[in-house]
Every structure is written in C-alpha cells, then in structure tokens.
Amino acid sequence: MKILAIDFGLKRIGLAIGDTDLKIANGLTTIEIKNNNFMLAIHQIKKNINNYGPIDLILLGYPTKLDNQTSSITLAVENFKNLLSENIKISVQFYDENYSTKNTISFYKEFADLKMSQIKKIKDKMAAQYFLQKYLDEKK
C-alpha cells in the first residue's frame, strides 16, 4: 500500500511517500503557501499523487498539545482535511505528528552538519518523512 504523508503548516506543507511493503518513507517536496491559497496546495498535492501514484492512503499529521487540547493549528489541520477529502478521492487519516519537526531539526543539526538555513528548506518534507516512517515501523 502506498501512502502520502502531509506535514501541514500555514506557510509550508511537507510531503513524503512510503510503502507498507518496503517499509521505507522518503521526503518528496515542500509546498510554499502564499496568501493562504490552500487550493493551490491541493493542486500541487494532486500533481504529486499523479507522479507517484496510485496512492492508497493520505496520512495527515495531526498536532496536539500535551494536554490533548485543540489549538488554532489543530483546527486549521481539521479544515485542511475537509478540503483534501472534498478534492481528492483518497482516504485521509490523521496521525500524531507531535515533535516531528523538532526531532527532524535536532537530527539534521547533530548528524548532517547542516546550517539552520539549509535545514529550514527541507524540514517540512523531512518531518512528513519522520512521522510516516514511524507509522510504517508501527505496522511491522
């Protein structure tokens, strides 16, 4: 089963792809959000699905606070899920993405010897890869 992971943000959306048979996730791309135009992001996600598809599941990163309370970003992710579901006929499932960006940044600082400006360019797609790999590992 092929899975597309989406790390949602108000400024950038990271995409990663993985396969439950291969058990490997790969970061694909980062989509820049301009003027809150999330329909343009949906269009770019569709392009990626056409390039890498068929996709069986979309895994959408779902951030929660430690006390499980919702926040403005949580509500934005829920709205984006609705937009995805209306425009892309693939099942969309939430997945806990807490600390995925933070862990990705820490990893690249420590092991890849990258500057923060370099990390900033890849952190969103790598955060999507991080939580997708976690999902795939749980399915073993």
What is the per-residue pLDDT for 65?
64
Sheet holding 24-32, edge to edge: 24-32, 12-19, 2-7, 57-62, 92-96
Query: What confidence tens digit (pLDDT) does each residue in 30-64 have?
Result: 999 999 899 999 999 999 999 998 999 999 999 87
Domain ranges of the chain: 2-139
The stretches in the chain having pLDDT less than 70 are 65-70, 99-101, 103-105, 107-112, 119, 140
Q: The pTM is what?
A: 0.88
Residue-level pLDDT at 121:
80
CATH architecture of 2-139: 2-Layer Sandwich (3.30)
